[in-house]
Structures are given as C-alpha cells and as structure tokens.
Chain A
Amino acid sequence: MSTRQPSDERRDERATGTAAAPRLARRQWLALAAAAAAWALAWMVNEHLWTWLVRDVAQLSGRLGDGVHFFVYDSLKITLLLVGIIFVVTVLRSFMSVERTRALLGGRREGVGNVLAAGLGVVTPFCSCSAVPAFIGFVAAGVPLGVTLSFLIASPLVNEVAIALLLGSFGLGPTLLYVGAGLVIAVVAGWTLGRLRLERWVEPFVFETRLGGQLVDPSLGLTWTQRLQMGREEVRSVLRRIWPYLLVGIALGAAIHGWAPADFFARYAGAGNPLGVLVAVVIGVPLYSNAAGVMPLVQALYAKGLPMGTLLAFMMSVVALSLPELILLRRVLRPRLLAAFVGVTAVGIAVVGYLFNAVLPS
C-alpha cells in the first residue's frame, strides 16, 4: 500500500490546481489495484505455501507439524480476512454518518423505526466510545428511546470483525444466520424496551440538552484519497487493538483443542444440557473481549462438540454487551434502565441460542 501522505497530495492539488489531480488519482487507483492483487495472491497461496514450508522445508510431521501448520495458516487467513473486510467496509461506511442516520430516524414511529435503526446500526460508522454523545444526540432530537436502543444494540453486535471471522471459520451459512439473528435481537429488544416506557430512567439532562445549530456531516466533502486513507487507518488501528485478544484466543483455543478431554464440554454444555445456552450467556456478558478473541475459542469448542446455537449465543453476549460500554452508558441511563437494557438483550440472545439449537442439526 502507498506510503505517501495523503495530505501532501491534497496540498499539491490545491497548489497546482487541477493539472496534477488526474495523475495523482491514477497513481492512487493503481496502488489500490496492486494491493488487491497482492491480497488475492496471498489468499490463494496461503495454504500451499505453509504446507510446503512446514512439511518439505522444515520436515515437520505428526502432531507438531499439524499444530504449526494450523497456527500459521489460520493466523494468516484471519489476518487477511480482517484486513480485506475492514478496509472495504470502512471505505463504504465513509459515505454514511451518524448524523445522516439520525436524520433518517427522526420522526419515525416505533416498529418501522426499530427495523431501520437496527439496519443503520450495521452500516453506520460507529464505535462504542461514541455511544454516549450519539445517545444524547438521538434522544434530544426526538428519536424514540427504543429506536435509539435498537441502534446501540445492533452496532456492536453485527460488526465487520465478527463477520470476517465467522466467514473464515464457518463459511457463509452460519455468518448469515448470525447477521440475521443479530438484527432480529436488536429490533425486538429495542422495541420491547420502548414499550416498557422507561423514559423516566434516562438521566434528565439528556432531554434538556440543547442541540447546536451548526451540524457537520463528516461523510460529506471527503475525497477518495481521504476515504482510502480512512480505510488504511482503520485496518491499522483495529489490528493494533485486537492482536492481543487474537493471540490469547488462539492460545486458549489451542489449549482446548489439545488438552481438554474430548467429551468434557459436550457433557457440561452440550445439546443435552438445557441450561447450556443460559450458562454461555451468563459467562459471556461480563467477559470483555471482542470477536477476534472469542472466535478461536468458539472454533475449538465447536470441534469439541458444542452446539452452534450455544456458541453463537456466547459470542453475541461477549460482543454485544461489555462492561466498559455499560459504564459509559451509565452516564445517561439510570441503573434500572441499564439493567433492563442488559436483561432484555441477554434474554434475546439466549432465545436465539435455544432456537438455533432446536432447529440446526447437531
């Protein structure tokens, strides 16, 4: 990928007018095409390369060879998926903004509003560190509480990191199942919370906040150079943030893979245990990790015979509800509403887990 500073290009464009712009634009698209080709090549040779290096060059065989091969192959596969999907998703999302989402949600009734909010939660660029300003901005602008909460549930639950990892580990079917279930949970939980009429458990200052008149939409007026730069920057910052989780997750996964007795988990949390999903959710909610740390664990537990519904419920409860986000939200939600938020979302996740376990062949 290009190492040139995009701001230099912008200044060049300003200084020289339009003459230099097409050349710079062409160079930038060529760099992007080269990066895409390199990605595709790495994806294609990944397995064969490691087979050759581990088996033929390093002469490793048996369990050690299997382990080393799996580790390097899988790590590279996950990294490639993350890089590709995060980059593409970030560039696409740069056309969307929280401001536009709020404008789309303003004046919507509950029901339709919840569906729209859940969908927008997936496509809007957002991180949980902005949960509080977004919450205040939505509610103060008249977006119903339940609709706002649908947005706040969907946004972390259906995220590109989870999608990339599910695609890599389980393929398209379970990924679509996860996305669909996540949307349904966000819609139903938000709608339910809206019906409960919990407005008086929102901190009063939220309704008293006066919105400034000069709203800026960050998605407007960006050049392609800036959008591509945002994609690169997001890939870098996400990878920097999640690699420790990924390593711990892979190590735990490997430990379960190698040392846990074959029927240990299946016996205690398998399809035969009616409390399995509930236990998974109760463990998952307070656990603070992200999809990257949970996925290797989920993969190992699946190999040990745990049902998919239990595992998806576990993963959802880890990514959807996290202690740091709840501490942030406590600034705007009083404990009773916060408890209802956690409770309704967790129940939704558990119901989906049981449903999958009942419907999916084990």
Chain B
Amino acid sequence: MIIKVLGPGCANCVNLEKATRAALDHLGVDAEVVKVTDFPTIVGYGVLRTPALVVDETVVLSGRVPTADEVEVLLADALR
C-alpha cells in the first residue's frame, strides 16, 4: 500500500501526515507514506483544496484534516 499526503507543506498537511502515521501504527500496517508537494501533481489528482490523502492512487479525502481514528476507518476500508 502506498499512501500519499498531498499538500504544499502547510500546517494542515503536517497534521494530516501525523494522523495518517498514527492510524497506520494503530492498524499495525506497514505502508509507505509519501509527501507530494508539487502543485501540478496535486491538481492532477483532482484535488482543489489541500490537504488530501491518496491511497494506492485513489483520493480518499480532501479539503480537511481528519482525526487519526477517521483516517484509520478510511485506511481499513481501502485495505479491504
């Protein structure tokens, strides 16, 4: 599983990355977390409002910072 955190490096993106790592730890899943800061690539995913979370090339969330629990639900859904 490759997880991408989309965002130019603002506070929201850092928070999303933290929540994602916490969720992965809790799930006990070993996944690669990649930060994408390049604007054309971000928009290429169809994201207009950062931060966004991409799991295996599918946008699962954009425009807000979820709680770690919420990311966990999203990731668990994606794993299924």
Contact = CB atoms under 8 A, between A and B. Distances in A.
Interface centre among B58, B63, B67, B70 (most CB of A within 10 A): B63
Contact of B69 (A8, A138, A332): A8
B49 A205 contact: no
B28 to A, nearest CB: 17
B64 A218 contact: yes
Contacts of B72: 7
B55 interface: no
Interface centre among A7, A11, A138, A233 (most CB of B within 10 A): A7
Interface residues of B, number: 27
A230 B45 CA distance: 23
Interface in A137-169: 137-138, 140
A214 to B, nearest CB: 6
Given A132-B8, A209-B43, A214-B59, A230 B49 contact: no
A6 B10 CA distance: 25
A19 interface: no
A360 interface: no
Given A98-B63, A132-B39, A218 B49 contact: yes
Interface of B: 8, 10, 12, 39-40, 42-50, 58-65, 67, 69-70, 72-73
21 contacts: A5-B69, A6-B67, A6-B70, A7-B69, A7-B70, A11-B73, A98-B49, A99-B48, A102-B48, A129-B10, A129-B12, A130-B48, A130-B49, A130-B63, A133-B48, A209-B44, A214-B45, A214-B46, A215-B46, A233-B65, A328-B8
Interface of A: 5-8, 10-11, 97-99, 102, 125-126, 129-130, 132-134, 136-138, 140, 205, 208-216, 218, 229-230, 233, 328, 331-332
Given A134-B49, A229-B67, 14 more contacts: A6-B70, A97-B63, A125-B49, A130-B48, A133-B39, A133-B42, A133-B43, A133-B50, A211-B43, A211-B46, A214-B58, A216-B47, A218-B62, A218-B63
